[in-house]
Each structure stands twice: as structure tokens, then as C-alpha cells.
Structure 1
Amino acid sequence: MEKSALPGDENGGAVANGRSETQISDVAGRDGPEGVAVEPARDAWGSKIQYLLAQVGFSVGLGNVWRFPYLCHLNGGGAFVLLYVLLLVVVGIPLFFLELAAGQCIQQGSIGVWKTISPKLVGIGYSSCVVCFFVALYYNVIIAWSLFYLGSSFQYPLPWEECPEPVNNQTVKECTGSSPTTYFWFRKTLDITDSIDETGQLNPIMTGCLLAAWAIVCLAMIKGIKSSGKVMYFSSIFPYVVLLCFLIRGLLLDGAAEGIIYMFYPKLELWGNVQVWRQAATQVFFALGLGFGSIIAYSSYNPRRNNCHRDALMVSFINFFTSVFATLVVFAVLGFRAKNIAKECVLSNLKLLSQLSDVELEQNPFSPQFNIFEPSSVSLEEYREWFLRNGSGVPVNVTDCNPEDEMKKGAEGTGLAFITFTQAMSLFPASPFWSALFFLMLLNLGLSTMFGTMQGILTPLMDNFKSLMRHKTILTVGSCTVGFLIGLMFTQRCGNYFVTMFDDYSATLPLIIVVIFETLSVAWIYGADRFLDDIENMLQWRPPAVYRIIWKYISLLAMVGLLGASLLQMLFKRPTYVAWNREEATEVRLEYPGWALGVLTILIVIASLPIPLGVLHSLLRSWLGAAPTWGANAERETYTKCSSVDLDSVPVDTREEGGDGESPGAERCRLLAREDEAEEATTEV
């Protein structure tokens, strides 16, 4: 039986006419029907470009620059890129579209969205908020590091180009045993301990940088999206300008072509490795920012007629393009670095050969044809040809100077940004300029992601607790202050180890669990077909039916498989971290001590616990009589139709303070459920 049009969805209604939140807000603050006060309208984006820049800025983060290139390098280059595209299309884009549509449809943050669908699901939103809080704590520390390196870049020569001057004719063993950039990172920047067990005092310089980072975030978000949206014009666009500059400069460097060829040479045999699939799926998952609630929060400020399907495709492919773009830049520069290291290796080996006597050189078959006493006249290619031709006949201490050996030493995360790439830039002419440009780019990448992460906390809380909406500035300043105070744990001398712990464990499993329940909620509890009906009502056209199959089966199975693979890896392989051994001047891999395993377990539990607690809370309220009566009809009435919500027409006194009541517009959302019941009653008659 064909359903009649819902009130508010007819052609004459505000929603059907395409009235945006901005248009509706014209009447905000006036008295509603019968003199009942109406809540002021929610914020809205100043323009579509602000919204797109915000979504791109959130999804395109530091991982695109220092994680994706490493995974490409580790997992077969071009083969990994093809696998990534496959998973992006089959899993990533549909889930990204789901979150965009849910936020825009219900016009609420993550807590309000899932509570509108069912009060039992409210814990999904709270879990997203907890994960965002954990991520914000350590992510701003990375921004603080970028601030420190940015400030240090305004020196000539750069402070990490050479080891410190010898004191009393004694060199700094830690620097000579590693490299100037490694020494500057571990000793001058972090002043790191040898293990996570050695706490140490606060690092005053890093504490100051962390305070500055939180101050920037606070000032940019003090007026919500109205202020952060304007910042996005710079923070989201500037990194692309820098990447383009680095790509042009990098392609002109000696060794850049070899680096890029090495990067994208496909090794399709790695597709048979389960771990490659797991890492590709995890990268798709985190690159798009699924599960944080930030996507939902940003899209909730859109007009309901906004084409969120087109946005999902656009942002996803911009994200992928950025990852590949950054990979080209990274490996062009690393190819240049590898060739320079190989040339230094040739000079070192020629020096060893020159120390042999003339008799030894004449009597040995490995005697080179080039002049070893003029190293500058010997090319890398000539040396390698001689070395490979003589094979084992050369002296033991003379090595093959192969640039590929250096390229195989993959680096990711902070190691890539603050050590490897920094070392390569120190070889550039005008190195301070390029260094300042690079760390300013990292700063903006981090800030744009940080804005989205904080929005994933603030928007749901303000939507669910109306008293917080009236004190938005206090909430923002208070959140940033708490974040700074708790974040001081990361500015200890062992703080880098805690950053690694939070990055590896506080978000990964909880976010996967959140997205699994999001998909279950929409595809099975609410119903994929009903959700597509809502989207059709909202956009005036129906998305392809393939989304129903993907949401119900493919995406859900993929996420469950990813969760299982991640759990198995944790259970069968004790968690480890990379520590810096000061005496040996090298990195070592250590197992987390028992207390640290307890901490990371608590982090995972705290982030995941709101989901079952939300279900339990709803069941208890039903049992105590605070919810509709038991039975199929009462349960069915819980699942609400999204697209009939008109937040700006809901009187204040129908919204419960404190977030314990029904979500805004819930009464109007239930029109579909009541209509269904009426149809069933008619059928029975």
C-alpha cells in the first residue's frame, strides 16, 4: 500500500521546498505556537566550500603523509594502491556516505543521531565522543612537536644538520653513533628515557609548545563552525600548495625517479597475504575518519537538500588523491636521500681502498680500473659495477653502496617526518626555507584534523545537553583546558611511548566496534530500505540499491573481519613499542610491561563501554516504566524516521534537559511508525 505524504514533507512544507537551516533560522528565537518559545536554530556553514574544506581537512591528516607511503612501501607498492582503491570503493565510500546522510538527515551530532534511531543505540554516540577525546589528547602533542620544529627551522644552519661541538675533545657518542637528525629528535626534542618504565620529569619546552597548540585550537573553535570554518580556508588548502612545491622540487633532485619507480613497482603476490588486506582496510577506515562522529557533526550543519552522496564521492577521492600525491613527494625526496647516502658510502669505501699499499692493489684481482685517489671522479654507477663484478673478491670491510638498500629501510609516523624526511631536507639548498615550509604543512594538517576531532566532542554534547548549547564558549575553553592538563602526561620524558600506546590502541578497536554497531543500526535495526527512503525524501532522488547490499552484508562482514584480525593479532602477539637506547644509540623493540598492558586494556574498555551501557540503560528505563509499554508496537515505535525531523519547529518545552529525554523532533519522527501501525490495523480489519 502506498503511504501518504507525511506532514512537513509535502510540497508546501519547508523541507520539501528546500529551506535550509539558514532560512529557518530567520524565525529563531520568536515565539512558537501558543506563545511557546522556540530554541534558536543550530549553526550553519557559511558556504558549501567551507563545509567541503572542513570535511577534507578532517579526513586528510598526518596519516596521509607519513602512514600511507610507508604501507605502500611495505606492502607491494602499486599492488597496495590497487587494493586500497578496491576497499575504498566497496567499503569506505558506502560507510562514509552512511555517516554523512545520517548527520544531515537528523541534523544532530553523533549522540542525537543514534538516539533518534533508537534510545538503545545512544551509547554509540558516547563511544565516539570518548574516542575523539583520547585522540585529541595525543594528537595535539604531535602538533606541539611540529610547532617546536617550525620554530627551530628559522636558524642557519639547521640545528639538526650536524652533531654538537665536541666538549673537551670528546664527541657526543649518542650523535656519532646514530645521525644528527636522530640525535636532535630523541635527545634535544624529547629528551627521551630508555623505556616506558622510566617516567622522568616534564619537558618544559614541550609543555610550552603543547600549551600553544591547545590555545590555537581553542581560539579557532571559540565560536563553533563560524570561526573554525574560516580557518579552514588556510589550514585545508595550504598543505596542497606545500606538497606541490615539494613535488616540483623533488622531481628535480638526483635519485627522485629511482625512488618513485621503487615505490610503485607492483608486487601482486602480496595480495595473498592476509596482513596486507588488514592493513589496507585499516588505512581506508582511518583515512576517512569513520566512527569518530566528526563526519556526522559536520554534515549536521548542512541544509537537508544538500547532495551528500556527491560529497561522499568527492571527499573520498580527494583523500585518496592526497595520499598518492604525498607518496610521490615522500619517495621522490627519499630517493634523493638514498642516492646521497650511497654516494657517501662510495667515498668511505674508496678511502678504505686508498689505505691499501700499491703492492696489495696490484696483486689482487679486485684492483679497480678507476682512480681511487680521486673519489670525486668516481661515479656511483662505476663503483657498483666494479663491486658486483668482483663479488666476494673485495675486502670484507668494503660494501656495496646500493641506494635500494636504503630505500628498503621503511620509516613511518614520527620517524618519517622528524628524522628521515628532515635529514633529506637538510641536504637541500636553502634548507631552512624548505624545513619551515614542511613543518608549517604538518601543523596545518594536524590542526584541520584536530578541529574535526574536537567538533566530534562538542557538537553531540551541545545537541544533547541544551544547557551546554547556551554556554558554548565555556564548554570549548573548558574542554581545551582539560585536554591540556591531561595531555601533560605526554610531555614527560617518556611521553612519546604513551603517544604510541594511545595511537595504537585507544582508538583502533573501539572505532571498529563503533562502525560495526553504526552499520547494524542503520542496515538491520532501522532498516536499509527505510534509510534509503529517508535519503530519497531528503535529496529527491534515490541512491542506487547496491548500497543496501553493501551496508547489510559486505561492509558489515568486512568490519567484523577487520575486528577479528585485530583481536587475533593482539591476543597472539604481545603488544610492543619502539624505545630509544641511549648507550647504543639505536632503536630497540620492547614489550609493554604488565601495568602498561593494563592501561591500554582500560583505554579500550572505557571507549567501548558506553555501547552496552546505553542498551542496559534503555532496558532499565523500560522495565521501570519510563518508556512505552512492552511489546512489538512499543519496540517498533522506538525506531524513528529521520527525514521528518524539523528541529526549528519543535517547542522548547517538548525537549528534555540533560539529555535523558527524547531527541529533538522524536515525536514527529514517530509519524512513520504510527502510520505503519494504522496500516496493519486496517489490513487486519
Structure 2
Amino acid sequence: MILRSTEESTSLPSLGKAGTSLADALPEASLVKTSESSLEKNLSTDSRLSELEPHLEELEGVTPVAWSVSAWVAQDQVSETRVAKAQAWETLALEAQVRPSLQPKPSNVEETAVTTSEVISYMSKKESKVSTPCPRLLWSSKLKYILALNTYLLMPYRLWRFVSQWLHKGGCTFLIVYTLMLFCIGIPLLFLELAVGQRAQHGSMDLWKSLSPWFGGVGYSMFMVCFIVNTYMNLYNSWFLFYMCHMFYFTVPWEYCPLQRNSSDFDPECEQGTSYMYFWYRQTLKVSDKIELGGPLNFSLVVFLFMAWCLTCVCMINGIKSLEKVLYVLGPVSYFIIFCFFFRILQMEGTEYGLKHLLVLKMASIYDPTVWSQAGIQVVFDMGLGFGPIIYFSSYMPDFNNCLGDAFLMALIKMLTLLFTVPIILSILGFWATISTHRCCKKNTEVLRMLIFHGILPSELYPPDLLNNPTSTYNSWLNSLLPPLRSTVLSMVPECNIQEQFLKIEESPRFVFLTFLEVISLFPESTLWTVLFFVMLLCLGLCAVVTFMLGIIIPLQDTFPFFRRWPKILTVGASMVMFLCSLFFTKPSGIYYFWLLSEYWVALPILSIVMCENLAVAWAYRAKRFLSDMMVLLSRPICPVCGWLWYYVSPVLLLGLLVALFFKLGTKPLTYIAWNSSTSKEMVHRYPAWALVLILGLYAFTLIPIPAYFAYCLILGVPVRTEGSPKLRCRSGQAPTEKNASKNILQGYKTKSLSS
């Protein structure tokens, strides 16, 4: 088995003797007479031990169950210092269990005979006040854990959004603002989620209760958002599978413009610079002209959607064991294909035009609040905050793992990935804009010649032959005309401007998807590159959906013990439910709802959830206390800047981003791009009024658990701050060294034992 449970790890030799002495001592415990007060003191002492080591197991029977070194230590991936620390804590655990038999008999006190079973029963009742989750499997190596986090953060549509913001929000200025927001909210909040999951070692929906009962609803809201997002996210993979079945045709359908005619008897607009793929996409997916127009389900898309959910179910069928294998393969494969495209696209025409936009710097954009809000939202989504998978991934790590270093590492990988993929996408867009402009010039030449042939235009407007460089030749001829003649030409045909064509890109992921397909169809050996492109998108899409499924399955298993007994049934059942819910988006108008949720809705609950996470740790549990917990575990100091950011900077910025979103919804109309089948053109429509009501209603529905817990705790008079559960409690103060930590606490236990 690749993964090892914390209970199944091999015990160290030093524990053998301790275990023997414990086994010998336990039968004598039935002969020891102790008072109720002495037992209370022992339990209090045990409680202190749990503050230092959250992995100590409860005493369940006559045979002791000792905490042992995790799979990390067994595989020699942790330093000898960590092993010594684990040994010291194990020795303390065993001593704490044996101590009731070694207690001196109290004098002048009425004694009561207590059997071993009664001691165990009493201890179980006392410790049941703080529920201890069942032992978790651990990642078999930290490399797989890092790859899993990276593949979760490597979402293709987030990469495209970053490029779009780069082009429309000031170029390098947007990168500067993005970097500042990354250090202010991205890295600190990523560290927060990693630390919470790693310390708690479970992913139940009520996880946040251990930080503060007032924030107990955060986990439930997170679960609901993750469920809704996953209903439409797998639609991406169904599109990829749908197009993959057409790429083996002798001629791919999107390589040529559809043979349609409009009222002017000319070829449709696709011959004048619009993507051929976009026309074919609209026709085959049977997209309606408006969101109000319904219709039956698209059966062909339903089939591929079912296939996408079957693939997701297969990847998740064995839980974390199969998940780590899947992510271990899909992540590197995606990066390899990206590298292949990088070296291929640099040889194509027009790539240098796209790369010029890397050097654009508009300092005026730094004073634009919209740039800051867009950069902040981009950072929150790029770091994958608020959805839950980060917490659940880290809950399968040993609690002494350096999660602060992991947060910086993931931010560095993300930045390097963005800086590497941006030139690739810009190069492809430059090539696409160049080819589209060439087509526009050639089409204008044909139209002008036909108009001259029919006597509509004078012969002096006869265009030149376009051979080597159609765009340069055509524009040079057009600019050489006298102003009246030039105006006459432009009244008959559109202007072919490569800059305008390049800036046609939108934020929607469907644009880059369709553009890439058309560009790849122009490559030599286009079938091979099309296969690679779809494999890359499918790998990235499956990684995203699988990790979001993790945010649904793990909370159910950790919250309801029944689901832990039948993990495969839970995985299949959850996949089927998600499939049935996602059928709604296969209707002709389903894609408009898809854009409505992904463009306007999802950011609202995510920002609210992340802000509640921040408040729960920084103000309810207290940032200083939480950092002290982590200092004890990591055995190294943590920069106090993290606490300062949690206290003041992150909440203010998150609140500002949330206010900016509501301001945008209230002042700007909600629009979507629809296809007018009668004119073969794109049309911009406004969403109906009920669309805004739908967004706000769904936002309130997903966040209901949070105010509900607020009201519940307020009515019962539950304090905001609690002492926390053993999983989240540590001694406050300075972090001790690894050698002195166990020594000092051992001395404290001996002193307390003798004094009692």
C-alpha cells in the first residue's frame, strides 16, 4: 500500500519496552484505589499532553494504542531530529497512560475501588467532549502533495483570465498590482488554510467550530459553494471530449467557414476575421439565440457529460490513494505539453507581435480601483481559496509539516507558471491575429474586385495582388488612396486592423479554447497538435473537477461516519447526483447560465467565505495564539507579519473586494454574448432582471449557515472565543527547541504527578 495510516506505522524499538511495561501495569490498575478527585487531576494532566501532541490515541482497551511516526518518518523523508521528537512524544504518551497505576495511594481520604474498565470508560466520557477524528491516511511523499496542490491551482480558465487582465488592465502595471495583492492576501490566506487543515487533521463541515462556535457555518457554506461550482465545471470536460471525437476527421469541421449566406449574398462575417471555430461551435452545440429561449437537452452533449463524470468517478473511486496517483500523472503531463507548444509556437508567423505586449506598461492604471479589485479577485481564485480542497489536501499531511514554506513555494510556482504561459498565449494570439487580418485583407480584395466588375466602384480602386504579406500590401495600398476614395472603400468593406483583431480577446475561457483550435488547425501535422492540445485541456480539467469532488466527499466522510464505511458507494452516488444536476447546462440556453454563474456569482460567496475564515482565525481564535500553536509544531519561529496581515490587512482588502463586486452588480448591467442565427453575427444582450435576483438569491442561500450559527450562538450565549479542541490547542508563548520541548514537559508531568 502506498499510503500508510498513522496507526499502521512501524513502532520504534524504544517503544517496545515502554509498551511491555504498560501492558504489565494495566492489570495492576484494577487493584489501585483512587479517589474521584485524583482521577480528575490525571485527566487534566492528560489534557495537557494532548495540547502538545494532537495525534495521541485514546485508550480503547487493554492493549495500548501508541501514536507512532508517520509514513513520512518510515520513508526516511524527515530528519533525525523529527524522529527524536516523535519518540519523545510517544514516551510521554505511554507514561501518561501508565501513570494512574503509579499514583501514590491517598491517605485520610475515603477510597473507592475503580476497575480498569471503569477508568477507561470515565476517560472516554471526559475526552468525548472533544471529538477526535479517525486516523487519516497520509500522502506517501511530499512531492505528490505538492503536485496535488499545484494541479489544483493550475486551472486553465484562470490562466486565460490573467492574460486578459494583462492586456486590458495595463500590462506590466497589472503584474505589479497582482504581486502586491499576492503578498497581502494570497500567501497569508493560503498559509492560513494550509495550517488549519494540517492542525485539524480532518475535513468535517464543523471544522471551524473548533476555532470559534460562531463560525461553525463556514464549513457548510464552503461545501455548498463547492457543490454548485462542480455542477457546471465538468461541462468543460464534456466540451473537450465532444471536440475530441471530431478531430480524427480527414478535415476537421472548424478548419473552414460554414457555407452560410446572409441577406447580402456574401459569405458570413467569419470570412472577415471571425473564428471559424466559433461558428461551428454555435451550430453543433445548438446554442439558442437568447437565454429566454429554452429547448430539450442536447443529447450528444449529455453523452459526453456522462463520460466526463465517469472519468471523474474512476479517478476518485479509491479516495486519496487513487487521487494521488492521478494527480501525480496529470500534472506533469500538462506541463510537458505546455513546453511542447512553447517551442512550436515560437516558429510561427506573427508571434513577435504578440510578444510586444509583454513590455506594455501603463502607469496610469495603478490609480484605477478597478485594476486593484480585478487583481485581488484574480489572486483569490489563483490561490484556490475558499473552496475547501486546500484544507482537505493539507489534512492528509503530518502536523509538523512546514506549511508556511509550502505556501511560499506554491505562490512561487504559480508566479513562474503565469510568467511562462503568458508569452505562450500572447504568441498564439499574435499568430491568430496575423492570420485573421490576412484573411480579412484577402476577402476585402475579392469583394472590391467584384464591386468593380459590377460597376459599383470605379476602376481606379482596383486592389493589388496580395502575395507575400497580404496585410502589409493591402494596408499600404489603402493608405495611399486619396481621402475621398479611401472613405468610399471603407464604406464597402471593413478595415483590417491587426491591433483591433488582437484586442478582440475576452475574459471568457471559451474564446481562448476556440482560438487555439483554429490556430492549431493551421499547424503542420495539425492532428498531432490537436490531440496534444485536447489531452492537456482534459488533464487540467479533470484535475480541477477531481479536487473539487474532494471538497464534497471528504466533508461527508468526516462528518457522517456512515459514509466512511462505504467510500466507493459515496463516490459513485455523489458523481451521479452531480451528473443529474449538471444536465441543466446541456440545454440550448444552458451556456448562458454557465456564464452567469462563473462570471458574476461565484466570486461573491468565495470572498465572503475567505473573509469569515480570516476573522475566525485572526479575531475569534486570535492570530497570536494560532501562530504560537504552529511555532510549537514546526519548532521554529514564525514571522509576526503573518499575524499582522491576518489582523488588519487581509480583512480590509477582502471587504473592499466584496464591496467592489456589489457596486459593479448595482451599477453595470449584466451582459452576455449571444449568437443571432438569422444574421450570422454575435449580439450583446442584457441578462433579464430575474438574473440578478437569481445571483443574489443563490448567494444568500449558500451563506445561510454562517448567520444561522451566529444567531444560534448569540441566543445561547456561547462566547466567541473558546479554549479550542485538543487538535487546535498548544501552549502559548515562545516555541521551545525540539530537544527541550519533550524534556520540559516530561519534568512538568513528573512534578504534577508527585504533587497530586
TM-score > 0.5 by shorter chain:
yes
Contact 1:6 1:644 in 2 (8 A): no
Structure 2 distance, partners of 1:76, 1:104, is: 38
Structure 1 distance, partners of 2:673, 2:321, is: 41
Aligned to 1:381: 472
Aligned to 2:576: 481
- In the alignment, which of 42, 46, 59 is matched to residue 136 of structure 2? 42
Deviates more, 1:571-580 or 1:84-93: 571-580
| Cα shift readout 1:129-173 (whole Å, capped 9, x = no counterpart) | 001001100001111111111222222211111244679xx9996
Structure 1 distance, partners of 2:216, 2:468, is: 71
Deviates more, 1:427-436 or 1:635-644: 635-644
Q: Following TM superposition, by how much is the alpha carbon of 1:186 offset from its aligned partner in structure 2, in angstroms?
A: 0.9
Question: Given residue 538 of structure 2, which amino acid in structure 1 is its aligned partner?
Answer: L
Structure 1 distance, partners of 2:307, 2:459, is: 66
Question: Given residue 392 of structure 1, which amino acid in structure 2 is its aligned partner?
Answer: P
Q: Which runs of 5+ in 2 are unaligned?
A: 1-44, 58-65, 75-85, 91-96, 98-115, 125-131, 731-747, 749-756
SS of structure 2 residue aligned to 1:557: helix
Q: Following TM superposition, by how much is the alpha carbon of 1:406 offset from its aligned partner in structure 2, in angstroms?
A: 1.0
Residues 12 and 328 of structure 1, relative CA distance in 2, 3 Å threshold: closer
Contact 2:442 2:470 in 1 (8 A): no
SS of structure 1 residue aligned to 2:253: coil
Deviates more, 1:580-589 or 1:270-279: 580-589
Aligned to 1:236: 331
Aligned to 1:180: 276
Question: Given residue 108 of structure 1, which amino acid in structure 2 is its aligned partner?
Answer: H
Structure 1 distance, partners of 2:702, 2:587, is: 24
Contact 1:130 1:607 in 2 (8 A): yes
SS of structure 2 residue aligned to 1:375: coil
Aligned to 1:451: 546
Residues 636 and 139 of structure 1, relative CA distance in 2, 3 Å threshold: closer
Contact 2:345 2:424 in 1 (8 A): yes
Structure 2 distance, partners of 1:374, 1:217, is: 54
Aligned to 1:670: none
Contact 2:214 2:720 in 1 (8 A): no
Contact 2:631 2:637 in 1 (8 A): yes
Aligned length: 621
Structure 2 distance, partners of 1:5, 1:13, is: 12
1:405-554 equivalence runs, <5 A: 405-554=500-649
SS of structure 1 residue aligned to 2:673: strand
Aligned to 2:306: 211
Q: Following TM superposition, by how much is the alpha carbon of 1:42 offset from its aligned partner in structure 2, in angstroms?
A: 1.5
Aligned to 1:70: 164
SS of structure 1 residue aligned to 2:522: coil
Contact 2:206 2:217 in 1 (8 A): no
Aligned to 2:28: none
Residues 362 and 482 of structure 1, relative CA distance in 2, 3 Å threshold: closer
Structure 2 distance, partners of 1:391, 1:236, is: 57
Structure 2 distance, partners of 1:68, 1:495, is: 25
Q: Which runs of 5+ in 1 are unaligned?
A: 624-629, 646-674, 676-685
Contact 1:11 1:17 in 2 (8 A): no
Deviates more, 1:313-322 or 1:33-42: 33-42
Structure 1 distance, partners of 2:236, 2:458, is: 57
1:16-415 equivalence runs, <5 A: 19-20=69-70, 40-109=134-203, 111-164=205-258, 179-188=275-284, 190-351=285-446, 374-377=465-468, 380-388=471-479, 390=481, 392=483, 394-395=485-486, 396-398=488-490, 401-415=496-510
Residues 346 and 610 of structure 1, relative CA distance in 2, 3 Å threshold: same
Deviates more, 1:450-459 or 1:381-390: 381-390
SS of structure 1 residue aligned to 2:254: coil
Contact 2:237 2:542 in 1 (8 A): yes
Structure 1 distance, partners of 2:475, 2:427, is: 22
Structure 1 distance, partners of 2:54, 2:307, is: 51
Structure 1 distance, partners of 2:464, 2:676, is: 38
SS of structure 1 residue aligned to 2:467: helix
Aligned to 1:660: none
Question: Given residue 260 of structure 1, which amino acid in structure 2 is its aligned partner?
Answer: L
Residues 101 and 157 of structure 1, relative CA distance in 2, 3 Å threshold: same
Q: Following TM superposition, by how much is the alpha carbon of 1:328 offset from its aligned partner in structure 2, in angstroms?
A: 1.4
Structure 1 residue 566 corresponds to structure 2 residue 661? yes
| Cα shift readout 1:310-369 (whole Å, capped 9, x = no counterpart) | 111111221222223222111101111111222233334444666759x999997x99xx
Question: Given residue 443 of structure 1, which amino acid in structure 2 is its aligned partner?
Answer: L
| Cα shift readout 1:21-47 (whole Å, capped 9, x = no counterpart) | 7779x99xxxx9957899752222121
SS of structure 1 residue aligned to 2:685: strand
Structure number with greater Rg is 2
SS of structure 2 residue aligned to 1:589: strand
Structure 2 distance, partners of 1:446, 1:378, is: 39
Identity of aligned residues (%): 33
Structure 2 distance, partners of 1:377, 1:126, is: 62
Structure 2 distance, partners of 1:460, 1:13, is: 20
Deviates more, 1:256-265 or 1:36-45: 36-45
Deviates more, 1:321-330 or 1:538-547: 321-330
SS of structure 2 residue aligned to 1:114: helix
| Cα shift readout 1:618-656 (whole Å, capped 9, x = no counterpart) | 445x36xxxxxx7xxx664454464449xxxxxxxxxxx
Aligned to 1:7: 49
Question: Given residue 506 of structure 2, which amino acid in structure 1 is its aligned partner?
Answer: A
Structure 2 distance, partners of 1:304, 1:312, is: 15
Q: Following TM superposition, by how much is the alpha carbon of 1:547 offset from its aligned partner in structure 2, in angstroms?
A: 0.6
Deviates more, 1:123-132 or 1:428-437: 428-437
Structure 2 distance, partners of 1:220, 1:12, is: 31
SS of structure 1 residue aligned to 2:208: helix
Residues 166 and 17 of structure 1, relative CA distance in 2, 3 Å threshold: closer
Q: Which structure has the higher relative contact order (CA within 8 Å, separation 6+)? A: 1
Contact 1:239 1:445 in 2 (8 A): yes
TM-score by length of 1: 0.83
Question: Given residue 542 of structure 2, which amino acid in structure 1 is its aligned partner?
Answer: L
Residues 296 and 183 of structure 1, relative CA distance in 2, 3 Å threshold: same
Contact 1:20 1:305 in 2 (8 A): no
Structure 2 distance, partners of 1:597, 1:166, is: 36
Structure 2 distance, partners of 1:66, 1:579, is: 21
Structure 1 distance, partners of 2:723, 2:191, is: 24
Contact 2:133 2:202 in 1 (8 A): no
Deviates more, 1:312-321 or 1:176-185: 176-185
Deviates more, 1:200-209 or 1:537-546: 537-546
Aligned to 1:616: 711
Q: Following TM superposition, by how much is the alpha carbon of 1:54 offset from its aligned partner in structure 2, in angstroms?
A: 1.0
Contact 2:212 2:722 in 1 (8 A): no
Contact 1:21 1:42 in 2 (8 A): no
Aligned to 1:665: none
Residues 14 and 341 of structure 1, relative CA distance in 2, 3 Å threshold: same
1:652-667 equivalence runs, <5 A: none
| Cα shift readout 1:364-397 (whole Å, capped 9, x = no counterpart) | 7x99xxxx55421555435434544556254332
Residues 360 and 134 of structure 1, relative CA distance in 2, 3 Å threshold: closer
Structure 2 distance, partners of 1:279, 1:530, is: 33
Structure 2 distance, partners of 1:275, 1:436, is: 38
Residues 569 and 18 of structure 1, relative CA distance in 2, 3 Å threshold: farther
Deviates more, 1:95-104 or 1:583-592: 583-592
Structure 1 distance, partners of 2:506, 2:322, is: 36
